[in-house]
Structure 1
Amino acid sequence: MAHSLHTTSRGEGQPVVMLHSGGMSSRQWKKLGDVLATSHRVVAPDFLGSGSNPPWPEGERFDFTMDVEAVAKIVGELGQPVHLVGHSYGGLVAMTLARRSPGSVRSVAVYDPVAFGVLHAANDVEGLTDLARNDKPIFFDLERGGSDAWFEVFVDYWNGPGSWRAMPEPARQSFLQVGRKVFFEVYSLLQDRTAASAYAPIEAPALLLTGEASPAAAKRVAARLADSMPHGRLVQISGAGHMGPITHGAAVNEAIREHVASAS
């Protein structure tokens, strides 16, 4: 049975379901939501253990498919096909939901979705070599996962050496509060081996966004996903890295706005 998620909803029209990245909350998409709510119904859930949801229970294991099922419940209750928007972990959840239930999706727009299974299935040397930079003992340590030391490896992979230590203390504490849930998100998604061909049934318009400075693995995932879908389109955001929806919000939001408008 799918868990229930805390969700905010505003605006009227075709629904747009906006999914945040790991360790953050639905507030990530507020500015884009402000724009889309003038013409669409914007639905923004917090993932399990995140945002306004209760903390993930201490000692309880988690698999990313649990968030997929919880979002699928929301989509089902909306009663019509939706536009899906997602970043990083939220992008993986969006893509997984779309391939499992392609008829429930009107369009998809994702930034650096962490669907690393496509790299393993294709033995993508460039992507897998880059992903191997995370191949350190602590990264899969069930005892220390989600700790300060674990986040240092995780955040520095995505944003460059020293990024974790350079973050303001309140920001680090915010991530550490949901650290165990984020660890299990990552731990479970890295076991995924779903091939790019599994996404071929997604016939809805699909926008695959990545950053010019995003890690090579993320770029390869976006490219392979775009190629796998009948109406997939790859767009690179100039100067942006993995956190492009935050650092280059204007460019990312405009690309998504245009995509949703053209698919409405």
Structure 2
Amino acid sequence: MNEAPLYVASWGAGEPVVLVHSGGMSSRQWKKLADRLAGTYRVLAPDLLGSGENPPWPEDRPFEFGLDVDALATLLGTLPGPAHLVGHSYGGLLALTLARKYPERVRSLAVFDPVAFGVLHGAQDMEGLSDLARAADNPVFTDEQLGGSDAWMQAFVDYWNGPGTWRAMPEPSRASFLRVGRKVFQEVRTLMLDRTGLDAYAKVAMPALLMFGEKSPAAARRVVTLLSQALPAATLVQFPGAGHMGPLTHGSLVNERIAEHLSHA
């Protein structure tokens, strides 16, 4: 079934840069980066299916992350030339998948903590897989009935950011996540089943900036480390003191590094 076009916020003119937000968030995540780049590039920040300004994803309709990949591929197909892709977390996985499947549409990549967990399985990376098990072994995390609920979001957010993070969030922020919770649950369930290995990513030959936070979960750190060894034109950057939400908590540093990467790519 074909989806309606994604809502896309846009700024500026020039080579296209597509900013792909993380799961549970929206294109608003990238506003500061978009403002920084708009003087040089045509910046497009889509809301993923069911997110932001798009219609909510029906709670009774199955979802798998390939649907977001397809919707973004359609967006890339409307552009006059290849685009620079920037992605965070789930958005990083989508950007990597697009680069792998549609290399002719992608000029460069910049991803922070992409959840390409298939590389951990292919490499039998025990540090990363053991860390993933912290989430998978929590019965709430895989519970179909609780998926996307307050209890599930607590398990999800606290895995990425530390115990107590979910309860410490302001109520409006928690409500925003819960509005898209069911779709996020299905995103996570399907990406956890992905087994795309390093051999597939080794074909991603465009310039790639692979970023992670010093305090990101071990699984995320191992993913970008393994990818940096497989992608032929990869640069690996760690942000001291940052965690998984580095593009927000350390936005000025991350945005500066992305802008530098784009200027060289």
Please indicate the TM-score interval, normalised by the length of the shorter structure. Answer: over 0.9
Where does residue 190 of structure 1 map in the other structure? 192
* TM-score (norm. length: structure 1): 0.98
Matches of 1:16 and 1:2, distance apart in 2: 24
SS state at 1:260 partner: helix
Contact 2:17 2:41 survives alignment (8 Å)? yes
Where does residue 177 of structure 1 map in the other structure? 179
- How far the C-alpha of 1:79 sits from its partner, in A, is 2.5
Where does residue 155 of structure 1 map in the other structure? 157
Matches of 1:260 and 1:2, distance apart in 2: 32
Unmatched 5+ stretches in structure 1: none
Equivalent runs, 1:55-204 vs 2, <5 Å: 55-134=56-135, 135-204=137-206
Unmatched 5+ stretches in structure 2: none
Matches of 2:13 and 2:209, distance apart in 1: 23
Return the letter of the residue paired with 2:139.
P
Where does residue 213 of structure 1 map in the other structure? 215
- How far the C-alpha of 1:10 sits from its partner, in A, is 1.7
Where does residue 254 of structure 2 map in the other structure? 252
- How far the C-alpha of 1:36 sits from its partner, in A, is 0.7
Where does residue 228 of structure 1 map in the other structure? 230
Contact 1:2 1:66 survives alignment (8 Å)? no
Contact 1:2 1:69 survives alignment (8 Å)? no
Matches of 2:34 and 2:166, distance apart in 1: 28
Where does residue 15 of structure 1 map in the other structure? 16
The worse-fitting range, judged by mean Cα deviation, of 2-11 and 28-37 is 2-11
Return the letter of the residue paired with 2:42.
R
Matches of 1:245 and 1:46, distance apart in 2: 17
Could you list the per-position Cα deviations for residues 220-243 of structure 1 after superposition, in whole angstroms to 9, with x for gaps in the alignment?
001111111110111001110000
Contact 2:59 2:183 survives alignment (8 Å)? no
Computed over aligned residues only, the root mean square deviation of the Cα atoms, in angstroms, reads 0.8
Contact 1:207 1:259 survives alignment (8 Å)? yes
- How far the C-alpha of 1:81 sits from its partner, in A, is 0.7
- How far the C-alpha of 1:2 sits from its partner, in A, is 4.3
- How far the C-alpha of 1:18 sits from its partner, in A, is 0.3
* TM-score (norm. length: structure 2): 0.98
SS state at 2:258 partner: helix
Could you list the per-position Cα deviations for residues 130-174 of structure 1 after superposition, in whole angstroms to 9, with x for gaps in the alignment?
110002112111111000100111111000011111111111111
Contact 1:24 1:51 survives alignment (8 Å)? yes
Matches of 2:142 and 2:163, distance apart in 1: 19
User: Percent of counterpart pairs with the same letter?
Assistant: 63
Could you list the per-position Cα deviations for residues 48-104 of structure 1 after superposition, in whole angstroms to 9, with x for gaps in the alignment?
000000000121010001000000000011031110000000000000000011121
Q: How many residues align?
A: 263
Structure-2 change in CA distance of 1:2 and 1:90 (3 Å): farther
Could you list the per-position Cα deviations for residues 13-38 of structure 1 after superposition, in whole angstroms to 9, with x for gaps in the alignment?
10000000000000100000001110
Could you list the per-position Cα deviations for residues 202-257 of structure 1 after superposition, in whole angstroms to 9, with x for gaps in the alignment?
11100000000000000000111111111011100111000000000001000000
